[in-house]
A and B are shown apart, each in its own frame.
Chain A
Amino acid sequence: MTRRLLASLLTTAAFAGALAATGAQAQETIKIGMTQPLTGAVAASGNFVANGAKIAVDVVNAKGGVLGKKLELVLEDNKSNPKEAVAAVEKLILRDKVPLLIGAWSSTYTLAIMPKLIEYKVPLIVETSSSGKITTAGNPWVFRISPTSEMEAKAFMAKYDSFQPAIKKIDFLSVNNDWGRGSADEFSKYLKTKGVQVGSIQYMAPDATDLSAQLTALKQSGGDTLFLTTGVEQMTLALKQASELKLPHRIITTGGSFPDQLIHHPGPKEMESYHLLFFSPWFPDKAKYPEIAKVYVDEWNKRKLDFPGLTEGFRGYDAVLTAVEAIKTAGKAEPEALREALWKTKLPAVNGDIAFIKEGPAGQESGQNEPNVYVVLLNQGKVTMPLP
């Protein structure tokens, strides 16, 4: 055992050496750290957001960077896993010494890294996560630009009257995680204020591909509208399978994802669906700041990235724009200064205006932005914006 231990420790020492040798080199750049799920179950979305961020960094650098220096995005994979999210963030903060973070896509990964923000005193811009807990946990280093399900539901209510025939009885098909469940809760709550009845709420496991059981049950419920909340893949599957089962509902998807494959491979005439988006790449002129949206869309297309990724990539783009604005306001790339600057940060972005209001327990509020919502209609591979 003695020999084993000794020889084995040499191996470990070699590793520790390799680890120490991977120290970051000092450069004259301003760094922004970002963690996203680049591999694993939710890699598709993570990569969209990361690409959006990379584009924003290039656009900013083309205009001369910020505070006279180039911007550098340090991107770490959190492998669709909360433990890895913690490891990724510690590497970004301790090794790369980033003064600001963007991340982490899923609410669970974001919640996992939040204690680190307090420990190391670094601000975080939350670009996608929707769980209410993120801004009510009493963490003053959190600034969220993405909407909660509540905000999405509230914004939707403005469009309620434009739906003809009117929405009278609704059903839900949600992915079984906090986002899906939260969305079903919030939309129910707000629609009930208009006297809408809630029928059946069905859930599906995030990796479920066969939704026939849920859809068959929904067919019997008697509702006229189905709210579908899940990621891109499952959304595509649900829409296809619903069409095959001849589901009578009008389908509205929430959460901002778009089933891109249904553009490349159009469905039949009877298959149509509405989608609540936070950015509608087919109609950049309908965005609040069309010039900004156009730059984003053009750069994305120049790099030949998947077109419908634009509906998620803008989150990374806007997050970087926000970070840059904060750095300008603060005048320096230091975490505490950036935190204070973020409260004062207001800017026009792809989604619309970004500004932070206080949310959460007094004295420890986090920042929350109020976003815009767009509704598009998809039918036979074509996207239109029929509602005002």
Chain B
Amino acid sequence: MIQKIFGALVVLGFATLPFWMNDPYILGLLILAGIFIIAAISLNLLLGYTGQLSLGHVAFFGIGAYTSALLSSGFDVDLGFGTTLVVAPKPVWLSFLAGIVMAALFGWLVGRLAFRVRGAYFVILTVSFAQVMRLIALNWVDLTEGPMAINNIPAFTLWLPGLGVTTLTSKAQNYWLILAVAVISFVLVAHIVHSRVGRALIALRENEGLARSVGIPVTHYLVLSTIVAAAIAGASGGLYTHYVRIVDPDVFMFIYTVTMIIMVVTGGKGTLSGPVIGGLIFGLMPEVLRDYARPEVQWIIYGVAIVLIIMFVPNGIVPALEKIWLRISAFGARFLPERLRPRLS
């Protein structure tokens, strides 16, 4: 209960941020970081709770991005045999949802194929999937414009009460949209994790053989979590598309997967707030470093920071901070009468 109140307060704090920190630069940074935090939250479901190391997560991000871009801009593609498929531009919200559905579909596909193997093989398979998607985006020029990029993508339009359908133009408006999607994703993942499904996932992460032996349909749950994770990643891809308003095969870059993984693991995989904290730190760190060192050195600091964090807090920042807090409160509790001592929850 107290957690929920606290969580609500945090969300409120973030929601009112545009009012007490009306700096469009910071809002812009938080928007870009937020998009990747949403993707990191989805990756955490696979990586942290299911224990599957998927290195192809950016593929779902990119699929969501391209689908939403293509549908909202309209396209025509030659399907061979003299037929051409022509699609008129669709409303942004519809394209966005389509992006989610498409990503979920591919999530199902990858899940069914990839979960025949585990460990190292699974890692490589997922990387390959993302690379192949990138190469398709690059070379199927008729559909995706290839390297020429899809540009002039419409910005978000939402139906707001009293205003009808409006285009989101200001930074603050985009910020709130990203925040809303982030909160929804967070709550969704939290819900799954705290349910029976979540417990099953954790069981299979800890010991797959044992989980199987007590009747947990392992593959079923793995595919299910991949679908959900892919859908959320597809949503973040859609958000990216309508904010940056240009999409090219670079959206499948491996460095984006790397960024998401760094956010999850340094924050604390298998914790709900890990990807958020890791995301804020590693999403904002490159911008902070801009003022302090030349470009190559900025990257070196970034890389070294990753190594140091894993060396000293191998489970991530969030669990480490929790330990510290526990020590402090345990120490302080000695001075309180019995009744008032805080309980572990």
Chain A residues with CB under 8 Å of chain B are 1-9, 11-12, 15-16, 18-20, 22, 38-39, 76-77, 79, 81-84, 86-88, 90-91, 94-95, 107-108, 111-112, 114-115, 119, 131, 133, 137, 176-178, 181-182, 205
Interface contacts beyond A1-B6, A4-B322: sample of 16 additional A-B pairs, CB < 8 Å, sorted by A? A1-B272, A2-B2, A9-B10, A15-B280, A16-B284, A19-B284, A20-B23, A87-B287, A94-B23, A94-B24, A94-B25, A108-B149, A112-B245, A119-B169, A131-B148, A181-B148
Partner of A81, one of B10, B245, B250, B272: B250
CB distance from B89 to the nearest CB of A (A): 16
Q: How far is the CA of A91 from the CA of B276 in the complex (A)?
A: 23
**A5-B273, A39-B295 are contacts. A137–B287 as well, Cβ < 8 Å?**
no
Cβ contact within 8 Å between A87 and B32: yes
- CB <8 Å contact, A177 and B284: no
A108 and B280 contacting across the interface, CB-CB below 8 Å: no
Q: Are the CB atoms of A94 and B28 closer together than 8 Å?
A: yes
CB distance B277 to A11 under 8 Å?
Answer: yes
**B187 → A minimal CB distance (Å):** 13
A1 and B288 CA atoms in complex are apart in Å by: 28
Could you give 26 example pairs across A and B, Cβ below 8 Å?
A: A3-B329, A4-B273, A4-B325, A5-B6, A7-B324, A8-B273, A8-B317, A9-B10, A15-B281, A20-B23, A22-B288, A22-B290, A22-B292, A38-B296, A39-B296, A77-B298, A88-B290, A90-B28, A91-B290, A94-B23, A108-B250, A115-B246, A137-B152, A178-B146, A178-B148, A181-B146
Task: Give the nearest-CB partner of B245 in chain A.
Answer: A115
Given contacts A6-B6, A18-B288, A177-B147, contact A82 B25 (CB under 8 A): no
| B326 CB-CB contact with A under 8 Å | yes
Q: Across the interface, which residues of B come within 8 angstroms of A9, CB to CB? A: 10
Q: How far is the CA of A95 from the CA of B24 in the complex (A)?
A: 9
Is the Cβ of A79 less than 8 Å from the Cβ of B277? no
Best-surrounded residue of B25, B286, B295 (most CB of chain A within 10 A): B295
* Interface membership of B271, Cβ < 8 A: yes
Whole-angstrom CA separation of A176 from B295 in the bound complex: 27
Q: Which 10 A-B pairs have the closest CB atoms?
A: A94-B25, A177-B147, A7-B321, A77-B295, A178-B148, A8-B277, A3-B325, A38-B295, A22-B291, A90-B28
Is A91 a contact of B244 with CB atoms below 8 Å? no
Which B261-304 residues have C-beta < 8 A from chain A?
Answer: 271-273, 276-277, 280-281, 284-288, 290-292, 295-296, 298-299
A114 CA to B29 CA, complexed, in Å: 18
| Contact with B151, one of A16, A111, A205 (Cβ below 8 angstroms) | A111
CA distance A9 to B12 in the complex (A): 13
Q: Give CA–CA (A366, B37) in the complex, Å.
A: 36
> Which residues of B are found within 8 Å of A76, using beta-carbon distances?
290
- Is B271's CB under 8 angstroms from A4's CB? yes
Cβ-defined contact, A4 with B25, below 8 A: no
**Closest CB in chain B relative to A79 CB, distance in Å:** 7
Interface residues of chain B, those whose CB is within 8 Å of chain A, are 2-3, 6-7, 10, 23-26, 28-29, 32, 138-139, 141, 146-149, 151-152, 169, 240, 244-246, 248, 250, 253, 255, 271-273, 276-277, 280-281, 284-288, 290-292, 295-296, 298-299, 317-319, 321-322, 324-326, 329, 345
Q: B248: which A residues are within 8 A, CB to CB?
A: 82, 108
B240 to A, closest residue via Cβ: A83
Smallest Cβ-Cβ distance to A17: which chain B residue: B288
Using CB atoms, name the residue of chain B closest to A177.
Answer: B147
- Quote the shortest CB–CB distance from B70 to chain A (angstroms): 16
Q: Chain A residues with Cβ under 8 A from B250's Cβ? A: 81-82, 108
Question: Given A7-B322, A178-B147 in contact, is the A111-B25 Cβ separation under 8 Å?
Answer: no
Report the separation of the CA atoms of residues A211 and B124 in the bound assembly, to the nearest whole angstrom.
Answer: 26
> What residues of A have a CB within 8 angstroms of the CB of B277 in the complex?
8, 11-12
CA–CA, A269 to B161, complex, Å? 75
Contact between B246 and A112, CB atoms less than 8 A apart: yes
Cβ–Cβ contact A83 & B287, under 8 A: no
A12 engages B32 (CB within 8 Å): no
Most buried by B among A3, A15, A16: A3
Q: Which residues of chain B come closer than 8 Å to A114, judged between CB atoms?
A: 151
Chain A residue at minimum C-beta to C-beta distance from B152: A137
| Smallest CB gap from A24: residue in B | B291
Complex Cα spacing A140 to B276, Å: 39
Assembly CA distance A210 to B51 (angstroms)? 38
Q: List the A side residues contacting B139 at CB < 8 Å.
A: 176
B253 / chain A contacts, CB cutoff of 8 Å: 81
CB distance from B289 to the nearest CB of A (A): 9
Q: Point out the residue from A4, A81, A88 that lies within 8 Å of B321, measured CB to CB.
A: A4
**B147 and A82 contacting across the interface, CB-CB below 8 Å:** no
Docked-complex contact B244 and A83, CB < 8 angstroms: yes
A15 / chain B contacts, CB cutoff of 8 Å = 280-281, 284-285, 288
